[in-house]
Structure formats: structure tokens, C-alpha cells
Amino acid sequence: MSENGGDGPLPGVMPGRIPENAPMPADFAPKELARALLRETRTATLATLDRNTGHPFASLVNVATDTDGAPLLLISRLATHTANLEADGRASLLMAETGKGDALAHPRLTVLGSLAPVAADSADVPRMRERYLAQHPKAKLYAGFTDFAIWRMQVVSAHLNGGFARAADLTAADLLTVTAA
């Protein structure tokens, strides 16, 4: 009896239904696909921990990436997700490719890590701000407001779902680019 329980003619090709030891298609390059999703996705779903109830809380954010690929957010402390992050920085970002047909047929990446605000006087802020605004020019309208700050994700791991029958667990090293110190 197979791990799929012998329950059909399409083992392993259904959404979210990929046994850990299933063979992946030969043209599936998880690291390359994950790096592309990380660097090209401009809007993501942020999951934080609700500071009142502990529920995972999903919200929409715009996202950019730092030089090494680490996700950068520009968020207001007046927003619910920011209040959640101030209580517990653990988070994930879902970066999904969109397209026609069944959404589950398209690749998406869950990046897990911890988000922390970057101190306003940090030497890293000008670079991060420039990168964020290059990717989100309209954010210039509010980037200077005192309730907004850049938050950077320290990536811990990631889970790639490349569409039906394609999945991989990845490390931070798989995703990020080594940059000069």
C-alpha cells in the first residue's frame, strides 16, 4: 500500500497533497523558483500572531527585498499587524504567483522568520528605504510619517509549493544571497 493509500489514479498531483518522499518532476528547480518568487513578488500575505487571542492573523502587505533577498516591509504602528509584531516578531509571508485558472496550480512560497523594526538612525535605513521606494514609488507619500518604519525579516526557513506535485522545504541559505559585510 502506497503512502497515498491507493486512493486514486492521480497520486501526488492534488493541491497540498505531496508526500515527503514523492519524486519531483525533473524540470522542478526549487531554489531558483523560490528565489524568483522572493525577489519578484511585490504584494504578499503577512501572517502574524494576534496579540490578544493568539490566532494566526493574515493581512495584506506590500513587500520589497534587501540586497540579500531578506523581505522588507514599510508599516505603520497604527496597523493591527504591527501591534501584533511588536508583541511577537514571529511571522510568515506568502508570496504567490497569480495567473489564470486554478490558483493552486501556480507556485507560491511561504517564508518563515522573525520581523524586527530597523532603528531610524541605523546606517542600513537609507539603503533599505531606497530599495523599498524603488519597488513601491507611491509609498513616498507616507514613508516619512513618524508612525511608519521599515521592518526586516530574519529568514528562518521556507516552504515552496510549486503547483501540483511540486514542493520543497528550503533553508534561509537556499533563499538568500551572500553579500559583502
Distance CA 71, CA 89 (A): 14
How many other β-carbons are positioned within 10 Å of the β-carbon of residue 163? 19
Number of residues binding to a copy of itself, judged by CB under 8 A:
60
Q: In this complex, which beta carbon is closest to a copy of itself, that of residue 154 or of residue 179?
A: 154
**Binding map of a copy of itself across residues 25-64, x = CB under 8 A, - = no contact:** ------------------x-xxxxxx--xxxxxxxxxx--
In the complex, the smallest distance separating the C-beta of residue 23 from a copy of itself, rounded to whole angstroms, is 15
Distance CA 90, CA 68 (A): 20
Helices (H), the chain: 30-40, 80-87, 125-135, 172-175
Termini Cα distance of the chain: 52
Q: Which of 8, 21, 100, 178 binds a copy of itself (CB under 8 A)?
A: 8
Q: Which of 100, 146, 180, 181 binds a copy of itself (CB under 8 A)?
A: 146
Residue 116 binds a copy of itself (CB under 8 A) = no
DSSP symbol at 103: G
> What pairs with residue 167 in β-bridges?
161
Q: Which of 99, 127, 142, 177 binds a copy of itself (CB under 8 A)?
A: 142
Q: In this complex, which beta carbon is closest to a copy of itself, that of residue 141 or of residue 181?
A: 141
- Locate 53 and state its grid cell: 487571542
In the complex, the smallest distance separating the C-beta of residue 135 from a copy of itself, rounded to whole angstroms, is 12
Amino acid code (one letter) for 44: A
Q: In this complex, which beta carbon is closest to a copy of itself, that of residue 4 or of residue 178?
A: 4
The closest of 158, 56, 65 to 108, measured between CA atoms, is 158
Residue with C-alpha cell 518604519?
149
Binding site residues, a copy of itself, CB under 8 A: 4-5, 7-8, 10, 14-19, 43, 45-50, 53-62, 75-76, 78-82, 90-94, 96, 98, 102-104, 108, 110, 112-113, 138, 141-142, 144-148, 156, 159, 161
